[in-house]
Structure 1
Amino acid sequence: MVGRASRLRQWLRRIGVRRRGKPPNYTCPTPTDDVERVRRQYQESEQRFRALLESLPKVAVQGYDRDRRVIYWNEASTTLYGYTAEEASGRRLEDLIIPDEMREDMIEAHRAWIQEGKEIPAEELELRHHSGERVPVFSHHVMLGEHTESPLMFCIDVDLSDQKRARRDLAFVTHFDALTHLPNRHAFETELEEVLENCLQRQAGLTVIYLDVDRFSEINDAMGYEQGDRLLVELARRLGQEQRLADLMSRAASDEFVMAFPGVDQQEDISRLVGKVQQTLRRPFVMEEGERRITAAMGVSLFPDNGLSARELIRNADVAKNRAKLDGPGGLQFFQQHHHDELVREQRMVEQLELAIEHRELSLHYQPQVSVVSGRIENLEALLRWQPRDSSSFVPPGEFISLAERSGLIHRLGDWVMEEVCRQQAAWRRAGFSTSRVDINLSGRQMLRPDTLARFEACLERYGLTPQDIGIELTENVLIEAAPLVLEDLRRLYHRGVRIAIDDFGTGYSSLSYLKHFPVTALKVDRAFMRDAPKQPEDRAIMEAAIFIGHRLGLEVVAEGVESAEQLSLIREMRCDLAQGYFFYRPMPAPDIQVLLGGTAGWSR
């Protein structure tokens, strides 16, 4: 009896019941009181444990005996597996939530745990719901009363449904386009590599088509992004209808699709395939505001002629597509090696041009415009020149200006020109040369930036210049395609006295009805008409008509490209106002212009 009491006291101390000093009126508890206290503590502990299990909404706990019969089933288990505690109680676990293919392995693992002490490892599983559906869980097992005749086992399952769903969503986003549900470019490239291996084994060819919808941004702007998305979904559906099971398709970018056609390698078959794709585009698309017709630029690359890897074939089809876009809406180009070589050369030139501004390789030359009657220099046109530091010659403007427009670098170049012209004109004004205006060219790409004209006005103000000191030259195509806000700004500049000329008149849309709507003060007739006017009656008639119409509309007319006395005599007869060309002056740097303006400022021969 003494030994038992001693062991009880030791156990009580272990669980936290300590002997303390005796307070007044203390009565020594009997062993029966101690046992009752321990029993209450155990019951309270068990209640706290059950409350804890019931308070974990995402943690399902099932307790079962050595025969795997359920003795405990919390509310989270009901939520996760669909069985109530009453339905689950007394049934074997394998009859409730264990899938058939896991049944034998689970029973053997349970036996090994009880008899051999081999713990069941924690792992991710897919168990069975009451409905038969699979439930992803992370399952962990705990045994109480191990090495006894009545061990109690608890299976603790954490619901992974949200995580699995997130993984599936991530996998979808990683491999598929959310709008069209087509494979994205990365997934397409992976699939294409597998197809190419098969083509290589069979010694078969393959055709890749890269398609880019023309002016899709305008569709979004005019009709809204929702309508633009509907068009893309419909286009993807149509293109998919024309494909065979072995063919591949991807939405490579916003309005770009790339397709691969294994086994299509004969010229006749390729032509037929391209024709089918083009026919798909020709059918109108039904939109909320009515029918809409679209075109697309297409580039084609062939395996194995234009590449042996998926990445190379896609890139070369893309290169051909970009080349096709230069031909206008609906362009089609087959890849040729010189396209890629030219692209590489242009990219290097863009990089060099970016550095040219920092290295001060850019300069401005000025070409005078003279009065046809008096020969006096009236105005100057600023022309951009680029001479690389390691070269003794200039890069032709025709090469780098168009490249700057395509690459977006034209904005930096345009800002530099604007700043430099204003700086130079202010210097000439301080030197006393106050008669000549300087005109600058603004490209279509520059005018797409809404603040271009505001920057122009700010530059004038910064250098203390008036609206009459700097003029603007725009092509008629730029004016026709200009946004309403741009035209509004041009009208404001026009009323402030800024000279606005239509450059290269006659080479764009050449719709005379536009002239009465545009805020312009001058026409510059393109040099192509001037070159052939002395010998070609048609060009002479166009020149004469342009001068006549310009004068009737109150516009100043400038003839570009005057290079001979014969041409000068002709435009004098036509009463043209100003002439510009090598017959008078070549473009020259600012110091030479200053010497010229400091002399007679006139021309004579």
Structure 2
Amino acid sequence: MMKINRNSLHFKIILVIVSVLIVFILFFIEDLRLTKEAMERMEQAKVESAIQSNIPSIADAIYFGFEKPIEDIGNMLLAENSNILAILIKTSSGKKYLFKKGKNPFKEKMDNANYKTFYIEKDNKKLGEVEIVYKLILSRQHFNEYRKSAFMFAILIILSIIIAMRYLYKRIKSLNILAEKLRNFDLHNIKMIESPDNYYEVKHITHAVNKLLERINDYARNLKTVNKTLLRNKKRLMDAQRIAQMASWTYWPHTKQVEVSREFYRILEIDARIKNLSIKTILNSIHSDDRNFFINTLKASIDKGSRFDFIHKVVTSRGKIKYLHTEGRVRKFKDAPTEVMGVSMDVTEEIEAKLKAEHMAFHDPLTNLLNRRAFLEKIDFLTKLAKRHKQMLAVLFLDLDNFKFVNDSYGHSVGDELLIKVANILKESIRETDLIARIGGDEFVIVLTDVKDADSAEQIGKNILNLITRNFVIKHHSCTVTASLGIALYPNDATEPETLLQYADAAMYEAKKLGKNRYQFFNSSIRLRLNEHLQIIEEIKEALKTEDQIRLYFQPQIDLSTGKVRGAEVLTRWMHPKKGLIFPNSYIPVIESSSLMAEYDRYVLKMSFKQLYKWSKEKRVKWTLGINLSAQQFNDKSLVDNLKELLKQYPIDPSLIELEITETLQMEDVETSIRMLHEIKNLGFKVSIDDFGTGYSSLSYLKRLPFDVIKIDREFIKDIHQDSEDIIIVKLMIQIAKTLEKEVVAEGPDMEEHIKILEALSCDYAQGYYYSKAIEAKEFEAYAESKK
């Protein structure tokens, strides 16, 4: 006989059927009980109802003293109700009337008989009582017949269940046979399964199983193909990992085993013949600086079942240090870590490049000294340290004298080499605890820590100047170098780093004013002058917020061939609300040394565009305006965008604007200058080279520069009437301009002889006091009208 498993469908069906059968039997027994009680209650009610209906008649007979009606009623009840065995009527006066069938049941109690007493009342007065004895005959007969029928029905139900169980057993047995066939199925020799019987359900399941087997067979064939593809992909992955320098690895915490890819061997330079690397070997390859961090991070990720992502150093088997970017995740089952999967990418080149970039972000690329940003961070720390230990610091601001001459005369490569040599001298002249930085072109700052007094700082300053003042031979060029040095003391002069640097810078400029090649301590007179400069800067800031303080003045430019006004150069004056009119030489040098110069230039540009737009609309004239660009503005990346915005705001002919740059300005970075000038030219503006002849430009550079006008500096014009060499120089400049098809403006003619000579030399335009000084807009309009 087949063994039945408690989890099988067969067992559960039997369990359900037995449960239903038990419920049915219990229901059947309860139904018999309830039916019997119902039948008995009905028959009992019938008997008692017959007695109850005759009580009033008996009461009337007793009340009036009639005995005959009482006897008639008693006999009638006894005759008409086969259930009643005896009736006993008692009156309150003590009389009794007995009616019975056979033995007197009132004397001897009868089994299976019911006794019942009814009270006789009239007008709420008790007259007697009726006692009856009766048996339930009919209900027992009917109940016995009902019980026989119910038992027959129950037997029929049980037989049906047995037959159903037999049927289900056979069907389930067929399913078990099918399961046994599947259990013994040979995957290497797939054959279709025959149905154990012909029942639809079993055949349907067998058909579905065969379909599944067909799919499994197809899947097996596909799996072989996939396995071949996986092998190929694995090889490609290994190649990709080698190219990307990425190694994969898996670690099983419960067994402490680790499996790594081939690239892992290559990255760590481990002999590929070594198999089954241990976790200890891998951990030993982690750099000692990062080993604890690596272990703790990995352990925390395993405990939490979280991802991990970090960069660490490793030491290869050949002793080479590499940087790896390791990331991965932990797999868990029932809150327990099962395996750790990760990848480690060789990012050595990237990290070294990043470290180099960070180094460059805080170091001067030429001299490898700290730059301004790093210097300010370091000096902030040093001042706090000095404050804690109550020490003195000295800030030495050093600037090479006439360094621009070296750049212009011998080229930037010689200038760079000179800066490197000076930087090396400075590094050798200070202590390890001191600080040195290059914060500008030829500007160096030194912080002397734990200075005893001002005399100590002075002695070190003298020593530095003596070491630098020498003749350097660089690329066969002899460069004699001196320097100017400014000294500010902490906490005597200031306590804030920026202020100390500013004071040392101001002292350095004072040393240059006093003749260069010397040192100068910051003092009260420098402080006063510096405060005046700061006040000027603040007042200029306020002045730029209005349009009535910084005013435009226009110095006319005359066409020498016609005598008419060509246009003007834009100059500025400051109408101070308290001091009155102030000329540029009193405030321009101050704002040139601050970041305010760019804002000042933008203001002048905007007001010039506005004025030219007004003239174009009201006067319908085409006067040109020459507008100077400072070094700050020319190097401002937003210059071109600013010009575009001004053209939108004031739609004028851009060819009427000549943007003037000094020769020395554009020569400092030729390639950048050329790109910037081409962008300006593409917008339609003209470009002029101001102060031409004062720099050291080569003709090859001039040929490449996209300019339109050359302005000859007044230094070559002022003595032209009495110096033949100046005539020759000016003539050559004009000839160069004509050869390059450029226009020429001579600056500074202030007498008629100058004009005649310039006309003879075919100069195009002149601008100087001979014609007019710089005048306001209304005066310029009148002057231009007079020259028509």
Q: Tell me the TM-score normalised to structure 2 length.
A: 0.43
Mean Cα deviation higher: 344-353 or 540-549: 540-549
Give the Å deviation of 1:315. 6.8
Q: 1:457 to 1:180 in 2, by over 3 A?
A: closer
Matched, 1:274 2:274: no
Q: Deviations along 1:255-305, whole A, 9 cap, x unmatched?
A: 632226547849995675224653799899xxxxxxxxx9986323689xx
Q: 1:189 to 1:569 in 2, by over 3 A?
A: farther
Mean Cα deviation higher: 441-450 or 307-316: 307-316
Checking the alignment, whether the CA contact within 8 Å between 1:265 and 1:302 is kept in structure 2 is no
- Which residue does the alignment assign to 2:750? 563
- Which residue does the alignment assign to 1:391? 579
User: What letter corresponds to residue 612 of structure 2 in structure 1?
Assistant: Q
Matched, 1:238 2:425: no
CA RMSD of aligned residues (A): 4.4
Alignment of 1:511-526 (within 5 A): 511-526=698-713
Q: Deviations along 1:445-503, whole A, 9 cap, x unmatched?
A: 11111111221132123211122121211101121124745522312433554221101
Matched, 1:374 2:571: no
Give the Å deviation of 1:576. 0.9
Correspondence for 2:521 among 335, 348, 356: 335
User: What letter corresponds to residue 369 of structure 1 in structure 2?
Assistant: Q
- Which residue does the alignment assign to 2:597? 410
Which is richer in helix? 2
Give the Å deviation of 1:211. 3.7
Matched, 1:249 2:434: yes
Name the SS of the counterpart of 2:587 in structure 1.
Answer: helix
Checking the alignment, whether the CA contact within 8 Å between 2:425 and 2:467 is kept in structure 1 is no
Correspondence for 1:532 among 705, 709, 719: 719
Give the Å deviation of 1:183. 8.7
Name the SS of the counterpart of 1:387 in structure 2.
Answer: strand
Checking the alignment, whether the CA contact within 8 Å between 1:561 and 1:581 is kept in structure 2 is yes
Name the SS of the counterpart of 1:184 in structure 2.
Answer: helix
Correspondence for 1:354 among 533, 541, 544: 541
User: What letter corresponds to residue 538 of structure 1 in structure 2?
Assistant: E
User: What letter corresponds to residue 555 of structure 1 in structure 2?
Assistant: K
Mean Cα deviation higher: 418-427 or 267-276: 267-276
User: What letter corresponds to residue 377 of structure 1 in structure 2?
Assistant: V
Q: 1:474 to 1:237 in 2, by over 3 A?
A: closer
Give the Å deviation of 1:210. 0.7
User: What letter corresponds to residue 249 of structure 1 in structure 2?
Assistant: D
Alignment of 1:1-16 (within 5 A): none
How far apart are the structure 2 equivalents of 1:325 and 1:370?
39
User: What letter corresponds to residue 554 of structure 2 in structure 1?
Assistant: Y
Matched, 1:365 2:553: yes
Name the SS of the counterpart of 1:479 in structure 2.
Answer: helix
How far apart are the structure 2 equivalents of 1:209 and 1:179?
12
Correspondence for 2:448 among 225, 242, 259: 259
- Which residue does the alignment assign to 2:162? none
Name the SS of the counterpart of 1:588 in structure 2.
Answer: coil
How far apart are the structure 2 equivalents of 1:431 and 1:413?
27
Q: Deviations along 1:410-430, whole A, 9 cap, x unmatched?
A: 111111111111111111111
Name the SS of the counterpart of 2:691 in structure 1.
Answer: strand
Q: 1:352 to 1:180 in 2, by over 3 A?
A: closer
Name the SS of the counterpart of 1:507 in structure 2.
Answer: coil
How far apart are the structure 2 equivalents of 1:313 and 1:465?
48
Mean Cα deviation higher: 570-579 or 337-346: 337-346
- Which residue does the alignment assign to 1:83? none
Correspondence for 1:454 among 609, 622, 641: 641
Matched, 1:573 2:760: yes
Name the SS of the counterpart of 2:593 in structure 1.
Answer: helix
How far apart are the structure 2 equivalents of 1:382 and 1:459?
17
Matched, 1:587 2:774: yes
Matched, 1:190 2:378: no
Mean Cα deviation higher: 524-533 or 481-490: 481-490
- Which residue does the alignment assign to 1:148? none
- Which residue does the alignment assign to 1:474? 661
Correspondence for 1:422 among 609, 627, 651: 609
How far apart are the structure 2 equivalents of 1:346 and 1:250?
29
Give the Å deviation of 1:325. 7.9
Q: 1:507 to 1:333 in 2, by over 3 A?
A: farther
Q: Deviations along 1:2-44, whole A, 9 cap, x unmatched?
A: xxxxxxxxxxxxxxxxxxxxxxxxxxxxxxxxxxxxxxxxxxx
Give the Å deviation of 1:397. 0.8
How far apart are the structure 2 equivalents of 1:445 and 1:326?
23
- Which residue does the alignment assign to 1:440? 627
- Which residue does the alignment assign to 2:738? 551
Q: Tell me the TM-score normalised to structure 1 length.
A: 0.55
Name the SS of the counterpart of 1:334 in structure 2.
Answer: strand
Larger radius of gyration: 2
Q: 1:193 to 1:566 in 2, by over 3 A?
A: farther
How far apart are the structure 2 equivalents of 1:268 and 1:325?
17
Give the Å deviation of 1:542. 1.9
Checking the alignment, whether the CA contact within 8 Å between 1:320 and 1:334 is kept in structure 2 is yes
Name the SS of the counterpart of 2:434 in structure 1.
Answer: strand
Q: Deviations along 1:355-402, whole A, 9 cap, x unmatched?
A: 11224311111111101122111122111111101133x212122222
Checking the alignment, whether the CA contact within 8 Å between 1:180 and 1:233 is kept in structure 2 is no
How far apart are the structure 2 equivalents of 1:528 and 1:463?
36
Q: Which runs of 5+ in 1 are unaligned?
A: 1-78, 80-176, 197-207, 216-221, 224-229, 285-293
Q: Deviations along 1:159-187, whole A, 9 cap, x unmatched?
A: xxxxxxxxxxxxxxxxxx89998993314
Q: 1:189 to 1:561 in 2, by over 3 A?
A: farther
Checking the alignment, whether the CA contact within 8 Å between 1:209 and 1:298 is kept in structure 2 is no
Give the Å deviation of 1:212. 5.3
- Which residue does the alignment assign to 1:109? none
User: What letter corresponds to residue 739 of structure 2 in structure 1?
Assistant: R
Q: 1:485 to 1:327 in 2, by over 3 A?
A: farther
Q: 1:426 to 1:298 in 2, by over 3 A?
A: same
User: What letter corresponds to residue 741 of structure 2 in structure 1?
Assistant: G
Checking the alignment, whether the CA contact within 8 Å between 2:748 and 2:769 is kept in structure 1 is yes
Give the Å deviation of 1:340. 3.0
Q: Deviations along 1:310-369, whole A, 9 cap, x unmatched?
A: 8898875443235568999x9754136443332221111111111112243111111111
How far apart are the structure 1 equivalents of 2:471 and 2:386?
24
Q: 1:180 to 1:317 in 2, by over 3 A?
A: closer
Give the Å deviation of 1:581. 0.9
Alignment of 1:48-63 (within 5 A): none
Checking the alignment, whether the CA contact within 8 Å between 1:319 and 1:335 is kept in structure 2 is no
Give the Å deviation of 1:309. 8.3
User: What letter corresponds to residue 600 of structure 2 in structure 1?
Assistant: L
Name the SS of the counterpart of 1:500 in structure 2.
Answer: strand
How far apart are the structure 2 equivalents of 1:455 and 1:179?
32
How far apart are the structure 2 equivalents of 1:341 and 1:491?
44
Name the SS of the counterpart of 1:586 in structure 2.
Answer: coil
User: What letter corresponds to residue 561 of structure 2 in structure 1?
Assistant: V
Q: 1:404 to 1:308 in 2, by over 3 A?
A: closer
* RCO comparison, higher one (Cα < 8 Å, 6+): 1
Q: 1:464 to 1:232 in 2, by over 3 A?
A: same
Checking the alignment, whether the CA contact within 8 Å between 2:714 and 2:749 is kept in structure 1 is yes
Q: Deviations along 1:221-248, whole A, 9 cap, x unmatched?
A: x99xxxxxx999988863445x8xxxx6
Q: 1:190 to 1:302 in 2, by over 3 A?
A: closer
How far apart are the structure 1 equivalents of 2:586 and 2:385?
36
